[in-house]
A and B are shown apart, each in its own frame.
Chain A
């Protein structure tokens, strides 16, 4: 049994993948709590697509496509923040407009250059096993940075997310805080793309926080639980992928979903409690 658990850790390749997946899913877990409460659930998906033009530039210029991906995702994220902030558009419409135009641009660039990207599947579905030492270090750094900034700016970020008007009146730089949050999301997304691919990166940002919402009451406890669940999903997913030969992205996300379903069962407002409650007599009307 211990051997089974230790086995994947014996190889450089899988050990690295393990660390990258854990770091990135924990970072996404922390950030995701704010993402979900801001009603930005689809931003992960959108920003992953927004990284495409950058990635194409990276391919064409034979330079780092992670770096270019970060640049284009950041620009897109700030574009979304700006559109939403000025009150021109709602948050969802801002995301949709920026994301479709960035993705269209990426597709146009691919077709114009006529180069078929062999590695496109890697972009779409991620491949942590292809991660080199530099990628690992980068992902870990990004995850650390994301968590660090969220911890450092915790209250202002929460304030600006919960009640932006009051935060503004209190003299907090709400625009800057939004830019910081969207920027962190862009970073986390690009790091996540390397691990689970652009199609599934949203899951890292959304599923663990959704599970945490069922298990914890307050923002920071939800962040802690979400980080834990994210990390756990990473580990479980990698083991599954190692032993069952599944695509890593898919198995990590499935593990996260399994944890979410478990949370649904055991949560204080969950299925089991609801079932138990129905079998006990109804409480009398609470007195004032």
Chain B
């Protein structure tokens, strides 16, 4: 057993290898290899236009890949591979008509339709999943409201609830913490911890380095290519940040100093209820890798 950051063993979780994506022949992602195991949160960081959203879109098949492979538990994603209902995706911007006459409940229930297929109708289990998801995000009281009657942050929570109701085992979140208040942020972070303990693989695009350092098991610094990939304390070096953000990256990890130290010493989120069911809480001694999960 080594203490090196484990590249996810083949066959477990989401594994992206050598992925390239081009828009109109302009290469936006070049040879990206990252992985996110079950029970793990992967943070995607990078400047505007780095390709974070593009990476998530490529995973769910919204943009075609120019090369490389994406696999889930050893099965390729895409045509004939693992069923896409296992992937729940919340985009950065919701390009929907907010006046559409659907209630919160209606929208969340649509998250079940992928499982139900074209002709399936939601049954009791589906309604329960939708209700549970709404309650989980604190949107229970508003479930009969029209989506157009909600605030921006509430709307964002509804779409998170829809993803949650899908009960997939990979969650792809594109900047879920942007533009929401402290309450929503707390709800979302708490949810992420909960989902991690239930063995979901979560990929999270964000601009909040401090939060990412606290929350994520591994970080990927992205700017067209992978600039660094590994646990937060290894990734957030001046060198890597400058490579990713240019000269504006110089001060970033100094600003982060406190948080990074905290992430290194003991993560804010409990690791003890991981899928491996490892009971003892790690009071990580200095020098020991805090994010290594034993028993796997």
Contact surface of A with B, Cβ cutoff 8 Å: 37, 39, 152-153, 155-156, 158-159, 161-163, 165-173, 213, 216-219, 222
Instruction: Please classify how large the interface on chain B is, using the bins under 10, 10 to 19, 20 to 34, 35 or more.
Output: 20 to 34
Contact A219 B110 (CB under 8 A): no
B118 touches A158 (CB 8 A): no
In the complex, A170→B101 CA distance in Å?
21
14 inter-chain pairs at a CB distance below 8 angstroms, sorted by A residue, are A37-B97, A158-B106, A158-B110, A162-B110, A166-B162, A167-B110, A169-B89, A169-B114, A170-B111, A171-B114, A213-B101, A217-B101, A219-B101, A222-B101
Q: Are the CB atoms of A163 and B113 closer together than 8 Å? A: no
B binding-site residues for A, Cβ under 8 Å:
60-62, 83-85, 87, 89, 91, 94-97, 100-103, 106-107, 109-111, 113-114, 116, 118-119, 121-122, 146, 162, 166
Which residues of A lie under 8 Å from residue B102 when comparing CB positions?
158, 162, 218-219
Q: How far is the CA of A171 from the CA of B111 in the complex (A)?
A: 11
Q: What's the minimum C-beta distance from A179 to chain B, rounded to whole angstroms? A: 13
Once A37-B97, A165-B95, A166-B162 are accepted as A-B contacts, the answer to whether A155 and B110 lie under 8 Å apart by CB is yes
Cβ contacts under 8 Å, B118 to chain A: 153, 156, 172-173
Is there contact, CB below 8 Å, between B110 and A166? yes
Pick from B84, B118, B122 the residue with the most CB of A within 10 Å.
B118
Q: Which residues of B contact A217 (CB under 8 A)?
A: 101, 103, 146
With a cutoff of 8 Å between Cβ atoms, the chain B residues found around residue A165 in the complex are 62, 91, 95
Which residues of chain B have C-beta atoms less than 8 A from A213's C-beta? Answer: 101
Give the most central of B61, B91, B101, B111: most A CB within 10 Å: B101
- Do the beta carbons of A170 and B97 come within 8 Å of each other? no
Q: Are A152 and B119 closer than 8 Å at their CB atoms?
A: yes
Complex: A65 Cα to B122 Cα, angstroms: 42
A162 near B103: Cβ-Cβ < 8 Å: no
B113 close to A162 (CB less than 8 A): no
